[in-house]
Each structure stands twice: as C-alpha cells, then as structure tokens.
Chain A
Amino acid sequence: MTNWNCYYLAPSIEDALQALAKAKGPARLVAGGTDLLLELQQGRQAVVDTLVDVTQIPELNTLEVRAGRLFIGAAVPLHRLVDVSLVRQHAQALVEACGQVGGPQVRNVATLGGNVAHALPAADGSIALHALDAQAELAGINGRRRLPLTDLYLGPGRSILAESGELLVGFWLPLGQPGQASAFRRVMRPQGVALPVLNLAAWVQRDGDRLAGVRIAVGPAGPKPLRALQTEQTLLGQPLDEPTLAKANESLLGEARFRTSPQRATAEYRRHLAGVLLRQVLALAWERAGNEIPR
C-alpha cells in the first residue's frame, strides 16, 4: 500500500532516463512533488514502483543567460525564479505567476518543469511561459530536442512526455529588449481549490504608441493553455486604445473556449473576466515597456 517502493535521486539526465526505463514496475519522474505526490497520497494516481527525482541534476538546476537566451532549468524551484533578478529582468510575467503559487514552503520545492509537465490548462507558470514564447528542451534515450511549448500539450493533464519517455531539461526564453515587457494577473475565488478562475499573461513590444509585437496566453480556455493568436493579430501594429482593446476582446472571446466548471465559475463569468484581465494585463505590460530599461 505504500505509494512507491524505490525513490531514486538521479545524479544526471542519463541516469534518470536509465532509471525510468529499467524500473521493475511503473516509474515516474518527480521534481517538487507538489502535484504528483499529492495525487499518489490521495489515490488519484496509481501507486508506482519507482520515483525518479530530477531535482539534483545540475543542468536542470541551471538558471543563466546562455547563447543569447535565458535558460531556466526544469527543476529550478519556483522561489529562485521569483528571487533572481535575471528572471525579473527578462520575464516579469513569470515572476508574477510563480510568486503566487502556494506559500513559500511550496515554492521552495515546486518547479517550473513540474508545472508544465502536469499539463493543466491554467497552470500559472505555464501560462506565463506561453506568453514569453518559451521553448522547451527535452532529453530522451535518443537525444535532445527543442519544441515550442505549445507542442508539448495533448489535453488536460496530458503531455507528450508520458508517451515519449523524455524528460524536460529546461526552458529557453528570448531576452528582453528595450521597449518590451510582460505581465501576469489572475482572478481567484476565496472558496474551493486554489486554481485560478482565470489567468492571463501578456508580452508586448512597444514602438512609440503602437504595438510592434504582442503575445497573449490565457487559461483555462480550452483543453490546453491557450496562445491567443487571433487576438494578437488584432492588436499588432495598433495603438493600445479602447477601440483596439474592444476588438481584441471580441477576438479573444472568439478563439477561447471558456467552460463552466461546477462550484468554481461559469463560462459567462470567465468571458467577462477575460476582457477585464486582457485590459489590465496589457495596460500593465504596456506601461512597463514604456520604461527604457525593461524590468
């Protein structure tokens, strides 16, 4: 009846992949365990033979600027993301998203890799990463590959990782440039589970009074985290004024599939909040981008 038999602290990516492949029974990767271990404890996840812990692998704990991009190891605990100025400088939305996950006890162990691999459509970290145009680096028995984040997702709680037996090494984010900035906001309910009613992240590039670039991600707005590509198109090249925002709002409602979740929120409420958060987050990012040095 124990939830696992063997707990393996993998020293390297290769060891982790080997351990996964060679386990005597079902095996799973674990990082902070703030999703997986609770599911095991509560019987929402069948017991496993082996847990392969990736948190000691040096590469997965790296956080640095590498090859002109910001690299965030999959096992970097969220508290480091929030505390490190490098992330604040290039990925403010991620800081805002991760800073709201749990309390310090959870953030000291929870990881971005776990947040993404858990594949919930409104995981806060994932939504921010989507707006920041992150790429995911995967390692498998057959080597490494890089994918746009959106390609990882199959549906709620389902990613390609389970099938492919790969692990997430980390995320590559473009470095912030002058005139660019990002932001993240969410709306919660005081009752029930601590999942957002709705969250939204945006990245903008300002050119004078126009939007020279924009990316928006929102959840839960379908089976996977949504990159609102049509909404981005409506905004591109426009000034951030109310007519543009109204159009963007309409686009967002067109492309997002907001659902009613019992005891949490109706689709109607989410449609309303989408407009509120869109305006609020874009305004915030816009204002930040106006400052010469991105923060």
Chain B
Amino acid sequence: MKFRVNGTAYKLDPLPGEMLADLLRSRLGLTGTKIGCNEAECGACTVLVDGLPVLSCSYPAARVEGKDVLTIEGLAAVPGIDARIEDLHPLQQAFVLHGAVQCGFCIPGQIMTAGALLQTNPDPSEAEIRHALKDTLCRCAGYPTILRSIQAAAYALRTGEPVPPPSVAVSGDAGAHATIGHLQPRPDAVAKVTGAAKFTDDLHFEGMLHACVKRAGVPHAFLRKLDVEKARALPGVAAVLTAAGLPGERNHGIVIPDWPVMVGVGERVRYVGDAVAIVAAEQREIALQALELIVAEYDLQPVVAGPVQARQADAPSLHAGGNLLKHIKVRKGDVAEGFAQADVVLEHTFYTAITDHAFLEPECSIARPVQDERGAGHQRMEVYVGSQIPYADRNQVARALGWSEERVRIIGQLMGGGFGGKEDIAGQIHAALLAQATGRPVKLLFDRHESLLVHPKRHSTQIRVKVGARKDGMLTAVETELYGDTGAYASLGEKVLTRATTHSSGPYEAPHARADCYAMYTNNPPAGAFRGFGVTQSAFAVESMMDMLAEKLGLDPVALRRMNALRVGSVTNTGQVLEESVGLLECIQRVEAEMYRRAGDQPFRAQVVPGQPHKRRAWGFAVAYKNTGLGGGAPDKAGAEVELYSDGSLEVRTSSAELGQGLVTILQMTVAEEFQVAPERVRVLVMDTDLTPDGGPTTASRQTYVTGNAARHAAQALRQAIASSLAEKYDCPPEQVRFIEGLAQVGDQRLPLGEVVELLKAEGRQPRALYEYWAPTTKPLGEGGKMHFAYGFAAQAAQVEVNTLTGEVRVLCLIAANDVGRALNPLGLQGQVEGGAMMGLGNALTEQFVVENGQVITDRLARYRIPSIELTPEIVSIVVEHPTSEGPYGAKGVGELVSIPTTPAITNAIYHAVGMRVDRLPVNQELLLSTL
C-alpha cells in the first residue's frame, strides 16, 4: 500500500485489524495524534485524509491507499519540539497566545478539525465553528477561548497579518510587577500544539511488554476459584500474576490501605473494577487474549447499591469495620434554639449523581526496571505516569513491591487532565509488579472503557437541608444531613465528604449550624477527589435552598445572600473567624450589576422569547466558597528548589503536579519575577521523585499557594545568597545588590547572572536554594479556630432558556466572579474559569454516571456525555482580587471554586423560567416537562 503522510511517501502494508491511528502512532512514531476514547466520540485522534477530517481511531489503515494524510506534526513549517512560535501555523500560534492550550491532550484534534474548517470556510461565524467542532471534545473546556483562537487564526490567514492577541485584562496589581499579573502563555504550549509533547502512552522502551488486567466484573462476591494456567501457556505471554505470592503489601490506598492490589481466592470482591489477575505479553492483543483464558469463579453476594442502604442494620458488611467510613460532624451553637427563633423553617432533600472526570487522556503507566546507578547491585524501578501525587505513588508502589521507597522513582509525565481523578493508584502498581517479575519494561494503558469502570468518581450524595430564618431574611439556623456514597474503597472519601459537610451551610454566617454526614462504603466504583471536592454537591443543595427561602420570604435572592454572606469578621460554621481576604460581597455585587445590565430590571422573571412562545428565559444566581489547601490540621507543606545556570537561565524544581491547570506557568512566572528575568529564561521541572523535592498532593486548590510560596521563597533565598556573595566581593551592603533584566547590579557594576554562578562555585557554594514552605497551621474539625488558611469566594449568574414543549434546557450566558486573591496569570485563570464553568454546566445538564446494582451502565464515552462546544454559553469572567497576606503575591486557590456555583445558578434559573425546582442532578428534561 502506498500513501503519503505529511508530504512523505510511504510504502507499507496494513496489518490485520489496524486502524490509521495505530499505523501513525506505533509504526510511524507520529504520536501527536492522540487516543482519548477509541470509540469515535472525542475527536482527539482527528487527522486529515485528502483534506477531510476523519477519526483515525476508527478509520481502517487499509483505507489510506493512495491518499494523503496530514497530522498535527505536518502542520507547522518547522515541526518538533524546537519550533519557535513564529514557525507555527496561525492556528497553532493562536492556540498558544490565547491560552487555549491547557492539558493539551485534545489540542491536536481541535487544531486539525479547525484547520479543515478554515480551508473551506476562511471566515466562519461562531455558529459554524461550533458546528464543526461539535464532536471534538475538550475536558479542560476552554471552549470560548478555543473559539476565539480559531477566529484569530482565521483573521491572520485571511489578511496575512499577525495573529491578533487575546483581550484578557491584566491583574489589578500588574503595574507593580514585571511578570506577575501579566498574560503568560504556558511553557509547554508550543510542544502541545505541534504534537511534539509526549504523554505516557507516547513513550516506548526497548523490549517493552504490554499489560492488561483481569477485572472481576461482578460488584460483590467472593472469589471462589482462579485458574490462570491456560493464560500463562499462551505464546507471547511473559507473566501472569495473581494475589498469591505478592512480594509486598496486599493493599494500597491513599489515606486508608483498604484497596486490594489484587483480590485473592477466598477474598472479597467489592466492585466490578477489582483486579484478580494481571498479564504482561509481547503485544497488547496477546495480553487481551490471555485475559479471556483466565477462569475466575465467584460466589455472588447481595449488592450494597447505595449509601442509605449501606447504613441499614441488615446490609452486608463490606469492610472489617463495617460500612461506615466516617460520621462527620459540624456543630455551632444550638440549632434547636435557632429554629425556635425562626419565622420560617424550610426543609428539602437533594440528590446528586455520580460523575466521572472523563479526563481526555486515559490512565497509562510504564514501569521500567533499571540497575541502581550507585552500583548497589540491586534494581530500581522507574515508573512513568501522569499522577497528581508522585511521592504518594512512590510510597505505594514501593510497599507493593516490598522495596524501600528509594528504590522507586516516579517520573511524572504530561497529564491529559486529572481533575482529582489521578490521585489514586491506577495501573502504577500492576505495571511495576509485572516489570519486577519479568525484568522488562511494562506498559499498562487503560482504554476508555476500563478508565470509566475503574477509577474513583465524584461521590453521589443525598443531602437534606433545613434552614430557619427571620422575616427579614437573617438566617437563624442551618441543619444538614448528608449521605455520601464512597463506593468500594476509601480513596479520599473521608476528606471529600468532610469538605462537603463543612461547606454544607454555604458561605453564610448562621448563628447556629449543625451538619452530619455519613460516608458509606457500597459496591459501586470508589469515589474520591473530583474538582470541587464535595463542595460541588453541598453547594447545589444549599444554594437551591437559599432560593426557596427567598421565595418563601418574598425577598430578592441576591439580597438574601448579601445579607447573610460571610465577610471579614464573620464566624464560619466550624468556628473560624475570617480575618481577611473575603471577597464574597464584591463578587455578589459585580455579578448582580452585570446581570441587571444585560437582563433589565426583572432578571428572575420568566420572559417569553419573541416569536417563539414555547420558549422561556430567566436568570438564576448562586454563590460559593472553597478552601485553599488541605486544612483541618493536616500539615501542608511543599518543597521547591531553584537553581541558576551559567548561561544565566534558571530552573525551578518541585514534585507538584501539572495536569493542565497551569501550575508550571505560575512557577515559571514566580521565579522570573523574583530574578527580574524574562519567563522564557526559567525552566520548570516537576513530578520527578529523584530530581524534585516533594511538593505534596495536587489537590484542594493548594498548589499556587503552597508550592507557589515554596518557589518564591526558594528564589528569594537564592537571590539573597547571591546578594551576600556579591556584597562581600564588592564590599557593599547586600541591599544594594539588585536584579534587573537578567543582570545582577551592584552600584554601577553589572554582572550577567551566568557569571554569578562561577563566582558562587569559586567560593565553594552551589548556585541553588531549596526551600520547604509550611503553610499556616490549621485546626482539626471540631476544635474551632482556623480550619483553613484561606478561602476563595465566587458568585455566578446563569441565563437559561427552557423549551416548554420538549423540556429541553439551554444555558445562554454565565457571569462568573471569582475572588482569587491575586490573578497571577490572567490567561491561565481565564482557562480555569471557562473550563470550571463548563464542568459545572455538565454537572447540571449532561453528566450522569449510571450504576445499577453495582453494574456500570455508562461504561463508554458514548454513554457518559461531557459538554461539547455546542453547549457552551457566553461566559463572562469577572476577576475579584482580595489578596490574602500569606499567599504568593496575595493569591489563593481557584481551580475548584470556579466550577462550584454554576450548577445551582443554572437550576435556580430553570426554576425562575418554568417553576420547576430541580432537586436531583442532572436535570431530567422529561421530568421537567411533566411538571409544567
């Protein structure tokens, strides 16, 4: 078969069953084409065949006979990792400059699809772009920015002018800084738009085996019999391992080690994704075939299908300690007294669904045994993986191998999204066990189906809210009772549901508050961290309730919130006095103003759409808060190291994870700011447990604050060391040493930074500084005082349109204000805001991970729907900056906050449009219609 790829002619025959994506990725090494689903749903694998975009994951390779294929690698004039931005195609340039690249996994598909559109339509309208990109999904969901990037590129292509820059405002504090607060594209953006960026599955090692996992497929059972002999005998199989003969610890778990590495004969299966055997073979197909030869027999047990059932006395007990993972309590004042003072008491129960992160890059781990360089004679294990907590992976892998931690090195890779779903162990341990057994590198790649079945989800919850208020609207008491489904294993369940509980009375000051949460084990897939960390669920409940209360009292919903809103001096329901950085009132006021500007004076009254009497529109409002950092008494620290090189460049190192959220840009900007060099002079190395100090988990919106501070302090420490050296040499006080434009300045002497390196080395000092930053201490829940060192605050308004003939709901506009302390990189913030809002929209309208009696129904991306560009409303971002004194330059976390108020803003708008109170997520259009 003859064909051309990116202009190069090839003569290669197709293999049996081979798809074009396999040919490109495996045989031609063109790994810029990504596989997000392998089921024609996501568009990540889009390439052009004779100019037309097709999905290469389901396009038989045999079909390219005589055709011309264009992949992302063929788009730029100068391809590859060294490409400069000027060498790129205008689409690539625009995606970089406008900040459309976040995790980057979908980007090759976005650019190829958009490129095809621009070839036939050089000046597409917004609607035409949406239509063309309809099935090219981005989970980081910077859809509005993607749209603007395409328009900017189209302009450049049409006119021959440069790509117009983005119109994102700088931080209010940008004037005080050279870099911080200004717009900065990601350091990895160019590699991501050219396809040069490598994700774990793009790596290949000599002699590498491919692993697959035999999953139980039953939700609750005892493994009666397991026979792997036939699988072992299959030619091409290198190893089949079971729970019998595990070299190290039998369980893993990020907080509680309750999750079996593999379930052994006689042991309990607790969910469909439990592993019973693992296989490594020369090829993936052989490993898959071997799975089918494994015979596993089970004694089925009654299924615990939900948290309420799990708490009943007659429910089967899933773990040694029973089904209750934790009873979490919040107590403030005396709610009985509070309700007695109330003029109105309302009570309602809300339900939220399990949802999946659906990060576009499915989990992949490669374990590779290597000889210890220090010649100690024993092996070490390298694990290449996109993980949110590299040091926790190291610990868990080492324990499972029965090795000391130092013998394991986690080498973190670019991550195609995480959102909390890459905190737990996925394939790391299994790959390492197989590599240990075979002495060869082993790749374990989940396909989308396996990813959906196995990794921890967002907790589904049942939340009863009872509020009491005086006639004037002042809250007197809030009482909540939550049931959270933590599934088969603990994961981060206790922490997530603690956050759900402490935030369950909303960002309001109620004199009396009480919350009880039952975190329950069930036979559903485990639930763990997911952007919002429990607060997404409780905010939906309490923000719906606040609207119900406003209606009952005949008050304006915004006024009711303003009246009760947390402010400086308020006492939270956990007894914390808020001392600073509480921008909630400003968020409320600015969203309200923008909403009225657009809506006229009755935003909450339903409007009939002119000419379409069956369509009604209205606005809805909601607020939220979210802690920054671990809090609750957990030590919260991060290490970072900054080094100066003799070419004058700098490197900042920390194990903290980059999942697309933009931490690497923040670290780069921070060091650049401290040394007054251009950001491009600063390299960022993250996620390598041999080379980077522990930055702690990438969770709880903590990295900008905690690791950002570590990097800032490390940079300052290095600067001071340099200053004192120079001060000695030039005999002046260290304060007179300044850093300007890549130079160190002492009096009228100017030294290139590179020369300083030689100077330090000559003095026997290393040109680097390591800093371990400890965030302010916090108090455990129940002890009162400072439970969290900072909170972010947000308000949103949503405008919806409901079709009263079909029940269909569309979101037309979202106005989002976020108090982020300081916008360190407004470009990255824009992406977080848009993506977060879209995730909240998905949570309201599209996402529902369906499990029936422990069996997963939504086991394909085609059944689990995440928002596409077609559902994307106009998103107006308002940045509110109430700096927090200890945050780096005043910043606090934003990653989760941005997505929390979206869901209730939408459901409140639906109520105003058609009078249906949504108390179960996601919105069911059929149910909605039936209530009209």
Contacts and interface: CB of A to CB of B under 8 A. Distances in A.
B58 A38 contact: yes
B524 interface: no
Interface stretch (B60-68, B337-345, B431-439): B60-68
Interface string B41-56: 0010010000011110
A272 B929 CA distance: 10
Given A7-B62, A190-B865, A191-B846, A276 B805 contact: yes
Interface residues of B, number: 54
Interface in B846-889: 846-848, 850, 857-858, 860, 862-863, 865, 871
Interface stretch (B128-136, B154-162, B304-312, B378-386): B128-136
Contact of B17 (A3, A190, A263): A3
A9 B65 contact: yes
Interface in A33-55: 33-34, 37-38, 41-42, 51, 53, 55
A192 B858 contact: yes
Interface in B1-44: 14-18, 38-40, 43
Interface stretch (A12-20, A104-112, A130-138, A162-170): A104-112
A74 B868 CA distance: 30
A271 to B, nearest CB: 12
B59 interface: yes
A103 B131 CA distance: 7
A34 B165 CA distance: 39
Interface in A181-199: 187, 189-194
B863 A193 contact: yes
Given A104-B53, A105-B43, A33 B17 contact: no
B60 A37 contact: yes
Given A41-B38, A190-B871, A272-B929, A4 B136 contact: no
B872 to A, nearest CB: 13
Contacts of A104: 52-53, 113, 116-117, 132, 134-135
Contacts of B133: 103
B926 interface: yes
A245 to B, nearest CB: 14
B866 to A, nearest CB: 10
Given A105-B135, A269-B926, A53 B55 contact: no
A47 B117 CA distance: 35
Contact of A6 (B16, B39, B848, B871): B16
A67 interface: no
Contacts of B17: 2-5
A142 to B, nearest CB: 29
Contacts of B871: 190
A157 B17 CA distance: 23
A266 interface: yes
A102 interface: yes
B860 A263 contact: no
A9 B62 contact: yes
Interface string A251-292: 000000000000101101100110010000000000000000
Contacts of A187: 806, 808
A263 B39 contact: no
Interface in A98-153: 102-106, 108-109
A285 B98 CA distance: 43
Interface in B128-180: 132-136
Contacts of B806: 187, 273, 276
Contacts of B286: 1
B288 interface: yes
A149 to B, nearest CB: 26
Contacts of A268: 930
Nearest to A109: B54
Nearest to B50: A108
Interface string A77-108: 00100000000000000000000001111101
B528 interface: no
B62 A191 contact: no
Contacts of A102: 40, 135
Given A3-B17, A191-B846, A265 B926 contact: yes
A259 B245 CA distance: 52
A147 to B, nearest CB: 29
Nearest to A49: B16
Contacts of A55: 63
B63 A108 contact: no
Contacts of A4: 16-17
A34 B58 contact: yes
Contact of A1 (B53, B62, B113, B285): B285
Nearest to A4: B17
Interface string B891-932: 000000000000000000000000000000010011001100
Contact of A41 (B39, B52, B809, B858): B39
Given A9-B65, A38-B58, A191 B847 contact: yes
A227 B132 CA distance: 32
A129 to B, nearest CB: 23
A193 B846 CA distance: 11
B317 interface: no
Given A38-B39, A108-B54, A190 B16 contact: no
B135 A103 contact: yes
A193 B862 contact: yes
Contacts of B46: 105
Given A37-B60, A38-B40, A272-B929, A190 B845 contact: yes
B555 to A, nearest CB: 32
B19 to A, nearest CB: 8
Contacts of A6: 16
Contacts of B863: 192-193
B562 to A, nearest CB: 33
Residue with the highest number of chain B CB atoms closer than 10 Å, among A7, A9, A103? A103
A53 B845 CA distance: 39
A289 B65 CA distance: 45
Contact of A2 (B16, B136, B808, B858): B16
A3 B61 CA distance: 13
A108 B860 contact: no
Contacts of B805: 276
B289 interface: yes
B62 A2 contact: no
A269 B931 CA distance: 12
B925 A103 contact: no
A62 B723 CA distance: 78
A33 B58 CA distance: 8
Contacts of B43: 103, 105
A237 B95 CA distance: 58
Interface string B799-811: 0000001101100
Contact of A192 (B18, B54, B808, B865): B865
Contacts of A2: 15-18, 285
A51 B60 contact: yes
A33 B63 CA distance: 11
B53 A269 contact: no
B868 to A, nearest CB: 9
A1 B288 contact: yes
16 contacts: A33-B59, A38-B58, A42-B860, A53-B62, A53-B63, A103-B135, A104-B113, A105-B46, A105-B136, A106-B135, A187-B808, A191-B846, A191-B847, A193-B862, A269-B930, A272-B929
Given A2-B15, A41-B38, A263-B850, 8 more contacts: A34-B58, A38-B58, A102-B40, A104-B52, A105-B53, A109-B59, A265-B926, A276-B805
Interface of B: 14-18, 38-40, 43, 46, 52-55, 58-60, 62-63, 65, 113, 116-117, 132-136, 285-286, 288-289, 449, 805-806, 808-809, 845-848, 850, 857-858, 860, 862-863, 865, 871, 922, 925-926, 929-930
Give 4 closest A-B pairs by Cβ, nearest first: A103-B135, A2-B17, A7-B62, A2-B16
Interface of A: 1-7, 9, 30, 33-34, 37-38, 41-42, 51, 53, 55, 79, 102-106, 108-109, 187, 189-194, 263, 265-266, 268-269, 272-273, 276
